[in-house]
Chains A and B, each alone.
Chain A
Amino acid sequence: EIVLTQSPGTLSLSPGERATLSCRASKSVLSNYFAWYQQTPGQPPRLLIYGTSNRATGIPDRFSGGGSGTDFSLTISRLEPEDFAVYYCQQYDGSPTFGQGTKVEIK
């Protein structure tokens, strides 16, 4: 099983700032099989990024994904109030697994 470790656990930022979230895999993951999700309280997760860098339908372009091999990242260029949430990375190169999540909170 591929273990995903996200960092930091919590990111405290202000609206308008840039957020960079990291996800490290315990072994190399094919770039086609990596995704990011956003979850707000009481809601199911929402797909943000698939295939490492492709935005899902309706996702604004302030969200971008990148990386390869074992190191992946999600960047939010300018935080909007609705972006304060928990973010999960996922790999599906084999049996899917999720990271433990990064909470982006208002500073």
Chain B
Amino acid sequence: QVQMVQSGPEVKKPGSSVKVSCRASGGTSNNYVIGWVRQAPGQGLEWLGRIIPALDLRDYAQKFQGRVTITADGSSRTAFLELSDLRSDDTAIYYCAKERTNTDPALESWGQGTLVTVSS
């Protein structure tokens, strides 16, 4: 069973950028897809994008186009989410999750979440 381990909490100023990491541990396949979802305090879930590390292919939610960059380092099985031009309403828990299969985007294994706080 693959476990997703994320980096620690971040506090950022408005207008700055944040980069969150997510490492896949366990499992043997390098053929996987990682998605990113965020959850503002007391709110629901919002999909930001995904990456297929083996193919270096990525897909972003239209809302975040131009502000979000998802990358991956296949050798360390680590994915990264970078969000730029941060605003106060970007304050949220950011989750990574492994998709169930390459053809089924249901999010099967979730990281513990990374709290990003944007405050002046």
Q: In this complex, which of B46, B47, B107, B111 has the most chain A Cβ atoms within 10 angstroms of its Cβ?
A: B107
CB distance from A44 to the nearest CB of B (A): 4
Contact in complex: A88, B108 (CB < 8 Å):
no
Please encode chain A, from 68 to 107, with 1 for each CB lying within 8 Å of some chain B CB and 0 for all others. 0000000000000000000010101001111111000000
Contact in complex: B44, A95 (CB < 8 Å):
no
Contact in complex: B47, A98 (CB < 8 Å):
yes
Give the size range of A's interface with the partner: 20 to 34
Please pick, from A35, A44, A96, the residue contacting B110 in the complex, using a CB distance under 8 A. Answer: A44
Q: B104 contacts which chain A residues (CB < 8 A)?
A: 32, 50-51
Q: A101 contacts which chain B residues (CB < 8 A)?
A: 44-45
Contact in complex: B105, A98 (CB < 8 Å):
no
Contact in complex: B44, A1 (CB < 8 Å):
no
Closest chain B residue, CB of each to CB of A48? B106
Q: A96 contacts which chain B residues (CB < 8 A)?
A: 35, 47, 61, 105
**Pairs across A and B, CB under 8 Å, 29 listed:** A1-B62, A33-B105, A35-B106, A35-B107, A37-B45, A37-B107, A44-B95, A44-B97, A44-B110, A45-B37, A45-B45, A45-B95, A45-B107, A45-B110, A47-B100, A47-B106, A47-B108, A51-B106, A56-B106, A56-B108, A57-B108, A88-B44, A90-B107, A92-B106, A96-B35, A96-B47, A96-B105, A98-B46, A101-B44
* B residues at A contact (CB < 8 Å): 35, 37, 44-47, 59, 61-62, 95, 97, 100, 104-108, 110-113
A45-B110, A57-B108, A98-B44 known, 19 other contacts, Cβ within 8 Å: A35-B107, A37-B107, A44-B112, A44-B113, A47-B100, A50-B104, A50-B108, A51-B104, A56-B106, A90-B106, A92-B106, A95-B47, A96-B47, A98-B37, A98-B45, A98-B46, A99-B44, A100-B44, A101-B45
